[in-house]
Amino acid sequence: PEFTAQPQEIVVNEDCGLTEILKWITSFTPGKNESDQKDSLAFTIETDADALFEQLPSIAMDGEQNGMLSFKPKSNACGRAQLTITLNDNSGTENGGKQTSETATRYIQINPVNDPPTFSMPENLSIYEDSGQQSINDWAKDINKGASNESDQILQFTTTVTAIPSEYITFFLQSPSISLDGVLTFETAPNVYGTAAITVCLEDNGGIDNGGQAKSNEQTFQISVTPMDECNAIIVTGSHCDDPVYKDFTQATSQAFSTLKSIGHWDIQYLTLDMSTACSEGNNTLEDLKNAILNGAGDADKLLLYMAGHGKKDYFKMNLTEELRSSQLKQWLDNNKAEEQIIIYDACSSGSFISELVPSDGRKRVIITSSTGDNIVVFKENHSFSYYFWSSINEGHFLDTAFFTAHNQMIQRQKAQIEADNLTNGNAKLDYRSVDRYCLNQVADCISPRYTPCESNFSENDDFENDNIALSARIFNPYVLNDQCRNFFDQSADWVFIIAATGNNSFEISIENPDIQCDPVVEIFNFSYTSLLKHDQGCAGENEIVDWISTESGIYYVKISNDADVSYPKQTAYTLKISTKNAQDSGYIYGNVFGLPSDKAIENLTISAKALDVSNVESNQKKLLQNQNETKYYMAGIRPGKYQMTAEYPGYLPFNGEVVVRSMEYSPIDIALSPVGDIDNNHMIDLTDLVICMRIVAGVCEYEDLPIS
């Protein structure tokens, strides 16, 4: 057979897809006098570069003695392929015949085409005014040069500021740029805020030959700059360097200084002694403080004044010879223009300043003192109100959380005060709410003290209902880690009871509540729930911790109720935790005593627990408690094991039962007593018992046949 193919080299571009060339074979014939073999002809094509093709070259013949060449290069493949083409028939090779044509050689050239580089990035970025140079890692991600055969190309990001707020000529000191490892760098100009738009393109050096693309699609992101309040802080170290606790005051004010510097845009005036001049000079004078408040603070939106040192009623010791009167400070603060003022004062009797400093002009002034008006305060290296307060602020917490943290840490020695509602009654509910979610941090959001609700669906009672009265309270085991997810549902209170095995038993009650302004009242009662032993409205509504120490062994009730001053939703979820530091390896047996009238002397009731093992250990050290509604008992210090319980009372049938005791757990077993003669076991001797006796005596029935429980 014979054929004729187009002579020219076939040239296509990379990623051209399926290519079909009509009449690429211009003629073909089976040979002379062999026209009957036309239908058996077939082309064969071999290449020296099969890897370039997704669909190898092939020829399809038509009835007009023409042939169409078709092929499909692989994605991103380029190079030159040699085609070796033959035409075959089925005539055989007998007598020297030939069924294969002469070979023809042709070429397919696949030209490279530059693929555009690609990348991804977020659409928005928010920063605060005057945040300085920004360097944000991984801003640009998924940076790709293109096909694998373009791995040696060189990339470059180009960034163009396409829009800035109209009131500014210069918005950036350093224009935004992106490095090849995706780091975005820029710096805004001082005192600018608003939103700027930046267009980004990624370009390679692969060129645009053959229709290639050297640039990515443009992407635009926005930089939003949030304006900041003008904030001034004044830090005062009181006393003098000969004072033995001056170093503790200095440590506190240094901690405040470093904390405020780290949380943003505070213009700080630090009034302290110059230690480099052997304490001979300093700027902690009354005149220095007056100038700082009236002049140095300027027209700031917010003023923070922190003082640490010695104090007495209505006075703060500025230095060796001068004292600051609360009335002086009020006058200076009233003449300061800041709309918000925060006063933090750590000294003995610091609470005496509160009544004087409450503003009369309606502006917001938060007054925090480390003590009441007559408290002595503790100032030690890492144990002071200031230390815990500034540590909490440095950790990113809100102002109220920092106050509550420091307050609770120092509560055994001093009682910190907060006044924020302008009513002079510090530590009131409105004071707490006035500073709720108040953030001193100027460059980052504070850590929310809200907890993830332990319960998302309030449509049903929790697992502990009904527990809205003491009589229905359930025991809480403080000796093991035990969190109870509860809700008030439609009840006004929740009750639990705890057992103090000894006097001087220390308990910690913690309430974690995610609800806004939710501060449940915690109360602890004796067993008769008539004597209120502890009433704590708490200072930390979101994570309240109540410490209490029992004065004697016994059963105590804990009541958690809604604060009457707060309107709660009907369903309020919280997590209850009770723990003790007096944990023991032994276990407890407890329960109710039924059937014993309240007029019976409970001291005549004997209860014993005998171990059902080879030891035969027996304990009868029980504690009995009785009130007008119930009788309870408990036995402490029981080693783990299985026990036979026995209870006896004169005139009553003995009680027997078994219970398993585990380490540091409460094992419940109720004791039901029945008087002798109580045949039907209804815990009383009545006419029914007499009728039963008469029927037995009359022979009407046997005792075993009686329908009694």
Please state the domain extents for the chain: 2-111, 118-226, 236-434, 470-580, 587-675, 677-709
Question: What CATH number matches the domain at 2-111, 3.30.413.10, 2.60.40.10, 3.30.1360.20, 3.40.50.300?
Answer: 2.60.40.10
Q: What is the C-alpha to C-alpha distance for residues 219 and 291, in angstroms, rounded to an integer?
A: 52
Contact 55, 19 (CB under 8 A): no
Its pTM stands at 0.54
Tell me how crowded residue 247 is: count the other CB atoms within 10 A of its CB.
13
Residue 297 pLDDT: 62
Pick the CATH number of 118-226 from 2.40.10.340, 2.60.40.10, 3.10.450.50, 3.40.50.410: 2.60.40.10
CA-wise closest residue to 231 among 276, 283, 298, 284: 298
Q: Low-confidence residues of the chain, pLDDT below 70?
A: 33-39, 265, 274-282, 297-298, 424-433, 436, 443, 448-461, 481, 489-491, 513-519, 537-544, 563-571, 583-584, 614, 677-686, 689, 696-697, 699-709
* Nearest of 696, 697, 72 to residue 705 by alpha carbon: 696
DSSP track, 185-206: EEEEPTT--EEEEEEEEEEESS
- CA–CA gap between residue 392 and residue 286 (Å, rounded): 30
Minimal CA–CA distance to 404: which of 376, 385, 383, 423? Answer: 385
Strand partners, 303: 232, 341
User: Who contacts 648 (Cβ-Cβ below 8 Å, separation ≥6)?
Assistant: 605, 606, 654, 655
Q: Which CATH code is given to the segment(s) 587-675? A: 2.60.40.1120
Quote the pLDDT of residue 425: 66
Q: How far apart are CA 84 and CA 555, in angstroms?
A: 101
Identify the architecture of domain 470-580 in CATH. Answer: Sandwich (2.60)
Strand partners, 522: 536, 560
**Identical topology for domains 236-434 and 470-580:** no
pLDDT of residue 539: 47
Cα-trace Rg, the chain: 44
CA-CA distance, 549 to 503, in Å (whole number)? Answer: 8
pLDDT at 303: 92
pLDDT value of position 25: 92
Which residues 6+ apart lie within 8 Å of 241 measured at CB?
A: 273, 275, 278, 279
> Burial letters for 665-688: b for 16+ Cβ neighbours within 10 Å, e otherwise?
ebbebebbbbbeebbbeeeebeee
Contact call for residues 218 and 200 (beta carbons, < 8 A): yes
Quick one: residue 590, left, alpha or beta (phi over 0 = left, psi -120 to 50 = alpha)? Answer: beta
- In terms of Cα–Cα distance, which of 538, 482, 514 is closest to 664? 482
Please state which CATH number belongs to domain 236-434.
Answer: 3.40.50.1460
Which neighbouring-strand residues pair with 345? 307, 369
Distance CA 682, CA 334 (A): 77
CA 508 from chain centre, in angstroms, equals: 23
Distance between CA atoms of residues 482 and 171, nearest Å: 56
268, 261 Cβ separation under 8 angstroms: yes
25 with 59: CB under 8 angstroms? yes
Q: Rounded to whole angstroms, how far apart are CA atoms 591 and 661?
A: 13
Which of 606, 605, 591, 595 lies closest to 659 in space, CA to CA?
Answer: 591
Q: Are 644 and 609 in contact (CB under 8 A)?
A: yes
